[in-house]
């Protein structure tokens, strides 16, 4: 009975090593400049173990990207702790997302490589599964509280997420990221204020 558990635990440990190695390497140099041999060597596993866990390098990249998306949402949620007003929470969430995008691995994997490696449709679908759902839930809660103007939640969520993605690219590509971040936060704050009831 304990043998399958041990095998499952070993498989999960191997997967975790591969994800950590790939995340580090993709984050440092980008998808195109990292080969599978380097990933398995860094992870300390065999090539066969990689292909047992993932169909190919792209599949591994997708898993790394999804893990990062989930982590960014979790990290951003920390900015919202204790905040009950959805206008303030939306502002804090936008600021948290932009700050997360300044981390080199987020910039490289989430903003730069993911759309190119996975294609726009898959990149957006994964982003929707994580970020869009959270944004829509916050918008709906704000409308329920009466602090945001009632309007269709799904298209408004797409507008917010689209704006966040674009402004994140603006910030990470700026010569003076600190100033760009301050500008972007100010603009997003005004955008959120414009939705207030």
- Please tell me the pTM assigned to this model: 0.87
> Which of residues 36, 54, 72 is at a domain's end?
54
Measured CA to CA, the distance from residue 95 to residue 106 in angstroms comes to 15
CA trace torsion 110, 111, 112, 117 (10° rounding): 50
pLDDT, residue 128, reads 83
pLDDT, residue 11, reads 87
Record the tokens describing residue 28, joined without a space: 């440092």
* 136 within 8 A of 148, measured Cβ to Cβ: no
pLDDT, residue 3, reads 56
10/104 same-domain check: no
pLDDT, residue 82, reads 81
156/97 same-domain check: yes
Q: Residue 85 — left, alpha, or beta (φ > 0 → left; ψ -120 to 50 → alpha)?
A: beta
Burial degree of 40 (CB within 10 A; 0-12, 13-18, 19+): buried
99/11 same-domain check: no
* 65 within 8 A of 126, measured Cβ to Cβ: yes
CATH number reported for the structural domain that contains residue 153 in this entry: 1.10.357.10
Number of domains the chain is built from: 2
Range(s) of the domain holding residue 46: 1-54
Record the tokens describing residue 185, joined without a space: 């936060």
Per run of 10 residues, the mean pLDDT along the chain (length 197 residues) is 71 95 97 97 95 96 95 83 88 92 93 94 88 91 95 95 93 96 97 95
């Amino acid at each position: 009975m304990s043998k399958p558990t041990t095998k499952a635990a070993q498989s999960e440990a191997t997967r975790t090593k591969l994800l950590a190695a790939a995340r580090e390497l993709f984050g440092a140099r980008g998808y195109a400049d990292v080969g599978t041999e380097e990933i398995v060597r860094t992870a300390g596993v065999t090539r066969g173990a990689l292909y047992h866990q993932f169909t190919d390098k792209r599949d591994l990249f997708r898993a790394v990207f999804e893990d990062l998306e989930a982590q960014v949402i979790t990290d951003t949620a920390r900015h919202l702790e204790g905040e009950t007003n959805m206008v303030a929470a939306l502002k804090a969430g936008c600021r948290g997302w932009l700050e997360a995008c300044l981390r080199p691995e987020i910039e490289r994997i989430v903003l730069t490589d993911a759309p190119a490696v996975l294609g726009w449709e898959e990149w957006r679908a994964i982003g929707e599964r994580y970020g869009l759902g959270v944004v829509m839930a916050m918008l709906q809660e704000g409308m329920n509280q009466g602090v945001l103007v009632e309007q269709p939640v799904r298209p408004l969520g797409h507008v917010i997420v689209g704006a966040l993605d674009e402004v994140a690219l603006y910030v990470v590509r700026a010569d003076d990221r600190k100033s760009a971040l301050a500008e972007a936060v100010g603009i997003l704050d005004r955008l959120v204020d414009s939705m207030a009831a």
